[in-house]
A and B are shown apart, each in its own frame.
Chain A
Amino acid sequence: MNSVQQLISAVEEADSSAKLVKAVQNLASSGSEDAVPTLIAALGYNNPGAAVAAVDGLIEIGEKAVKPLLQLLDNYNYGARAWAVRALAGIGDPRGFNTLLDAAKNDFALSVRRAAARGLGTIHWQQMPSEQRSTSQQQALETLIQVCRDPEWVVRYAAVTGLEALANAASETQPDKLPQITAPLLEMANNDEEVAIRARAWMAIHQHHSQIEMPTMKTLAESDDEKEVPSRGSGRRS
């Protein structure tokens, strides 16, 4: 049994949450391609510590993890999907692009939408065939503009970071596209109901200060919207 197999066995045999986290961390740091299936399985253990370590490991392994991630993504539980999309977003491999496009707009779970929205900006565009790049960036832009209207603040926040990354990519390769990308950022900086998102959009715009016309900004007033679900006090009835 080689050392990676020992590390895999340690994950499979972990009998406590703490041991599992440690074992996944050790396996993740091996950076071995053989670790991929076990790391992907660890995304579904409902153990955030283990999942964080597994995502880090999968991102580190990079391209070699993309195909198995895409294969295992379907019909996986939502928690695991979120982590898998995070791994794909972190790897930035163009093969994950269509998955991220779809997840950012349509996934049921907000944690998946937010990971995908960020990933849409941070795709490694230079790995994409140049004839495809322009179309894909346009698709990413259109999707992110749509995601800027997501009902969940954190998804909109992620869309802003996606737009920022897209603007950074465009400023190097297609500076003429920049105004098109900064326009939705300006819209978010001025009009989002959440001050945190207005501030984040503002930060994104500042980087391109010299290349775009600076607008005046509305007051960053407070907002106290909080999401809630109905409950009839389950577990809290007396």
Chain B
Amino acid sequence: MNSNKDNFQPSSPSETPGGGESLTIETAIANLEGTDSGLRFYAAWWLGRFKVNEPRAITLLIEALADELDRTPEGGYPLRRNAARALGKLNDKSAVPALIKSLECSDYYLREAAAESLGMLSDASAIPALHNLLITGLTGEELVIESTPSQPYDAILEALGNLGAKECVPQIELFLKHPVERVQYSAARAMYQLTKNSSYGERLVKALAGNNLQLRRTALADLGAIGYFEAADAIAQTLAENSLKLIALKGLLEYQVRELTPPTPTLSDDAIKVMKLMDSLL
């Protein structure tokens, strides 16, 4: 996640800074169709960043998931990764089959990006493939102990949680004991989404009191994503950047106000509490 970058970011195509990198939708699409791998790579990112949800862009990004030209020395697929990330943001389910296929790629970071995007596209047809990838980390009911995870389990678990994959709960639960803490958090996050059992939310709250700043940041992002209201005070108090706390609290607030209806919505006490905490962190 990049939300901890505490500096200016453009929010619309016209505000993109920097001479040669300023694109229009037409040039971005043309660049993606071209042969310059640098321009293609940037265009794929740009189309996702500015949510260019146009049929031609979707088609080209799906094609880019099969790109063979842009390779890292280690065999990674940079263009594919960016295309997979962009497709997650464009909200077009026609990308789902190609993203599912990307889960089989040799490139770990492409599998990670594809899993993340499948979780964002809310298409339950991705569940079996994600489940199959998850259980490569299991032998029966035991975790395979790996010092470096061979699959992007965190992204897979989060996607399964986002997709409401209740049928995967028994396998997801096993990852609560994964040796990598980030993976444990992802499992807790998915378990909370799938069961609404507060013990999983509390697992993440506990992580906010840990010694490792990076893990506290991860837990903040997870709590914001699941909107676990009971974490509000712990979020405001944990030792981390206010920017990240504000993003997490915004996640909580969004869950609180999602149900508001016009014309004169009443704000709940919980929503007001979250906003007051946010005010105190500005």
Report which A residues bind B (CB closer than 8 A).
48-49, 78, 108-111, 114-115, 117-118, 151-154, 157-158, 161, 194-196, 198-200, 202-203, 206, 214-220, 222, 225-233, 236-238
Contacts and interface: CB of A to CB of B under 8 A. Distances in A.
B76 A238 contact: yes
B170 to A, nearest CB: 30
Contact of B2 (A117, A153, A231, A238): A231
B206 to A, nearest CB: 19
Nearest to A89: B282
Contact of A158 (B46, B75, B258, B282): B282
Contact of A111 (B243, B250, B260): B243
A236 B2 CA distance: 13
13 contacts: A151-B15, A152-B11, A154-B250, A194-B250, A196-B254, A217-B263, A217-B265, A220-B257, A220-B262, A222-B258, A228-B49, A230-B46, A233-B109
Given A233-B78, A233-B109, A227 B282 contact: no
B62 interface: no
A227 B76 contact: no
Contacts of B243: 110-111, 154
A109 B242 CA distance: 13
Interface string B163-182: 00000000000000000000
A238 B239 contact: no
B9 A228 contact: yes
A120 B109 CA distance: 44
A100 to B, nearest CB: 13
Contact of A236 (B6, B11, B109, B282): B109
B12 interface: yes
B132 interface: no
Contact of A48 (B11, B241, B261): B241
B58 to A, nearest CB: 18
A214 B89 CA distance: 36
B253 A199 contact: yes
Contacts of A236: 109
A94 B261 CA distance: 40
A226 B243 CA distance: 14
Contacts of A108: 7-8
Contacts of B72: 237-238
Contacts of A230: 42, 45-46, 49
Interface stretch (B96-104, B133-141, B188-196, B272-280): B272-280
B107 A238 contact: yes
Given A228-B2, A228-B9, A203 B267 contact: yes
Contacts of A219: 261-262
Interface in B40-81: 41-42, 45-46, 48-49, 51, 72, 74-76, 78, 81
B41 A199 contact: no
A191 to B, nearest CB: 13
Nearest to A222: B258
Contacts of A238: 72, 74-76, 107-109
Given A158-B282, A219-B261, A151 B10 contact: yes
B246 interface: yes
B5 A48 contact: no
Contact of A222 (B5, B254, B263): B254
B69 to A, nearest CB: 15
Contact of B265 (A110, A115, A220, A222): A220
B271 interface: yes
B147 interface: no
A115 B254 CA distance: 22
B260 to A, nearest CB: 4
B240 interface: yes
B264 interface: yes
B2 A202 contact: no
Contacts of B212: none
B275 A203 contact: yes
Contacts of A203: 267, 271-272, 275
Contacts of B256: 199
B3 A226 contact: yes
B261 A206 contact: no
Nearest to B262: A217
A202 B263 contact: no
A157 B264 contact: no
A216 B262 contact: yes
Of B76, B107, B265, B272, chain A has the most CB atoms within 10 Å of the CB of: B265
B41 A232 contact: yes
B258 A220 contact: yes
The 7 nearest A-B residue pairs measured at CB: A151-B11, A216-B263, A199-B257, A220-B260, A118-B282, A217-B262, A230-B45
